[in-house]
Amino acid sequence: MVKKTKRRSKHIPQRTCVGCREVLPKRSLIRIVNGPEGIQVDLTGKAHGRGAYLHDDRSCWDRGIKGGLDHALKTRLTDQEKVALMSFIESHLPDDRPAQEGPEDKS
């Protein structure tokens, strides 16, 4: 009789969005880091420093900047850092995102 080997599934790191508290795979979130150069967006996910994660959704960024990032990064964001983070998300979010719609009526 031949022994069947079980295949291990690859571990996918999970992180929590500080804006909406939803747990998702690390790669689907944007990392904000409090590192030696201050608060900045870390698109590589490998920069040194304390990190926090946000969706690519404007509402999550608004909630994160209002307080979630302060707590997660163990610092207080300055007005200049808040403006820099908001300008980043404004420039990286497509303006013509389709609005979420419900099912259409076909009457």
Residue 27 lies in a domain: yes
User: Domain range holding 26?
Assistant: 14-92
Reading the block at residue 45, the tokens are 């996910």
Residue 105 lies in a domain: no
Residue 100 lies in a domain: no
Query: What is the 8-class DSSP label of residue 3?
Result: P
Residue 22 lies in a domain: yes
pTM: 0.78
Q: What angle do CA 46, 26, 63 make, to 5 degrees?
A: 100
| The predicted structure's pLDDT at residue 100 | 45
- Do the strands 38-42 and 50-54 form a parallel or antiparallel pair, or are they unpaired? unpaired
Considering its fold, how many domains does the chain have in total?
1
Residue 7 lies in a domain: no
What digits encode the pLDDT tens for the residues 27-80?
A: 999 999 999 999 999 999 899 999 999 998 999 999 999 989 999 999 999 999
CATH number for the domain including 30? 3.30.1230.10
Residue 6 lies in a domain: no
